[in-house]
Amino acid sequence: MSQPHEHEVWITGAAAVTALGETLDATWNAILAGRTAGQWLELPMPGCQVVRIPGAPVGNGLLKGIPLVSSCQRADRMALEVAQQALTSAHMVRADAAEAAVAFCSSKPAIGPWFPGPVKGRRSGGQESEKSVIENDDRVSNLLEVLVPQRTAVLIADVLDTRGPVLSSVAACSSGLHTLIRAVQWLQDGCGSLALAGSVESCLNPFFMAAFRQMRVLAVGRDDPAAACRPFDRERSGFVIGEGAGALVLETARRARGRDARPLAVVAGYSRGTDPTGLTELDPAGRPMASTIRRCLSAAAVPANRVAWIKAHGTGTLRNDQSEAAAIACVFGEHPPPVVSLKSHLGHTLGASGAIETALAARSVETGVIPGCANLACPDPACGPNHPVTPTPIGDGPAKYVLCLSAGFGGHLAALLMRPRQDADFQ
């Protein structure tokens, strides 16, 4: 949980690559226009089997020629792209990031089209045996380098030639927000003044997709995948698997003022928690998430009525939506601020969702606009009220804060609160 500290953290740059756009601006404008991403993907499995799933891959020129199953190559390309875009957004060049901490993550290991394949091993008696594990050829120079969770963080630090620490948190679908919080803590603790934080996910691979399908969390019951992810709707059936990356430049206010930077948003507070209900379950009453939200607001000394809108985790699964709605009702009562799920537009980008959606929330703080929920036709009363379907202004009242929520398998919970910049920030 965050504590009052002299090192206030500003978000001075933000970037995203998603199925709706190759930049944060393109994605934001597509969301405001009500666009949604999704298509049917047929992914080949060994043995001539095919997994058919609703997916939202990044389809712009950035990944041209790289097949969906090449998770490692696609993730690397997107991670490096958003890192550079975030620095540009913050009016920095690569040399300016020399002392930065790099906090970047994925929730899944990066694999490629070579996985699995036959590899010859040796039995204890010296005889050869074939195992369907990983093809042992020149394309995989170092298996550990490919599969370790912090590979994108190390790659970004190497390409940018940074000298700060490399930070990475793996917390399932809340990995992105957990890693952002870790970077904020590093700055608040006085360990440095600049961090590049974000997350990436590219796992439109038949092995991961078969697992999600087996868990019955995918929205497979509709003809149009772009309309299939329906958070808070009575007819919701699950999510569309998305792909993408997001990154933010975080600076101490002192450093940002020193270079006359203007924040997109200011980090006001954060909290992390755990829901021990089960590996893939959440407390139906939402008590652990409600506690996480309360600690976040308390750390920022912000009352609930100052929150302008809530960026929900909002996966579109029956249990997640109802549990999250129950948590929100515990904290905000029967009349909460607007609650929006960006996954209705982008699909569920899994470990990247925390960074992508926080970058979009920062754009909301900067512009004073609340995005709408897509695909919401029949609101479920069990999911609570106030889910706008079209963009609305934040308004001129005292409610200016935006609350970002994330949850992940294993009970990982996170909340982060942002506010707009004020005249006092520059004095």
| Annotation marks residue 173 as catalytic | yes
If we measure between CA atoms, which residue out of 424, 364, 426 comes closest to residue 394?
Answer: 364
Amino acid at 353: S
If we measure between CA atoms, which residue out of 28, 24, 52 comes closest to residue 40?
Answer: 52
Which residue is catalytic, options 348, 373, 383, 412?
Answer: 348
How far is it, in rounded angstroms, from Cα 147 to Cα 168? 14
| Annotation marks residue 91 as catalytic | no
| Annotation marks residue 373 as catalytic | no
Question: Residue written as tokens 């948003």?
Answer: 265
Question: Residue written as tokens 């995005």?
Answer: 371
* Cα-based torsion angle of the residue sequence 255, 258, 260, 262 in order, rounded to the nearest 10 degrees: 20
Which residue is catalytic, options 72, 105, 173, 373?
Answer: 173
Q: Show Cβ contacts of residue 219 under 8 Å, excluding neighbours closer than 6 positions.
A: 54, 225, 228, 229, 230, 236, 237, 238, 239, 240, 316
Give me Rg for the CA atoms of the chain: 21
- Cis omega (within 30 of 0) on the bond before 118? no
How far is it, in rounded angstroms, from Cα 184 to Cα 189? 9
How far is it, in rounded angstroms, from Cα 109 to Cα 202? 9
Contact 8, 252 (CB under 8 A): yes
239: helix, strand or coil? strand
- Two tokens at 60? 């712009």
Question: Residue written as tokens 């050829």?
Answer: 137
Which residue is catalytic, options 7, 178, 229, 313?
Answer: 313
Catalytic residue ranges: 173, 313, 348
